[in-house]
Amino acid sequence: MFRFEKFDVWQKAIVFTGKVYRVTGQFPPDERFGLTSQMRRAAVSISSNIAEGSSRSSDTDFARFVQIAYGSLMEVVSQAVIARNEGFMADDRCHELSTDAEELARMLSGLRSRLLP
């Protein structure tokens, strides 16, 4: 097992990405290369940055990757609001993603705080 696989925040990010994939799978076909792709890439970036950061030689470097993961999470939240406003996503789905994102944000912040002196 790799180091990153032991982190609850990484596991939660994987689940979150699955939800983003399912939600964006319902978007209009003409959004496939637009918002669908953008949201999916940002969601994948969350767990990917945790994984990449965990391989770095210092906790300071790891913390920088955790911060990048946090930024990607915020991208997904913003894009979900746009998707909801454009009628691609129901209010309850947007709220669910937002609630999950809030928990993930707290976990990322906690990990970053533990990594920095």
Say what the pLDDT of residue 19 is. 98
pLDDT for residue 117: 80
d(CA 90, CA 12): 22
The reported pLDDT for the residue numbered 111 is 98
Pair of tokens at residue 57: 């030689």
- At 63-112, the pLDDT tens digits run 999 999 999 999 999 999 999 999 999 999 999 999 999 999 999 999 99
* CA distance linking residue 115 with residue 102, whole number of Å: 20
Q: What is the pTM of this model?
A: 0.97
Which residues neighbour 85 within 8 Å (Cβ) at sequence distance 6 or greater?
Answer: none
Q: How many Cβ atoms are within 10 Å of 16's Cβ, its own excluded?
A: 20
Domain boundaries, the chain: 3-115
Cα end-to-end distance, the chain, whole Å = 27
d(CA 41, CA 46): 9
pLDDT tens digits, one per residue of 21-41:
999 999 999 999 999 999 999
What pLDDT is recorded for position 85?
Answer: 98
CATH superfamily membership of 3-115: 23S rRNA-intervening sequence (1.20.1440.60)
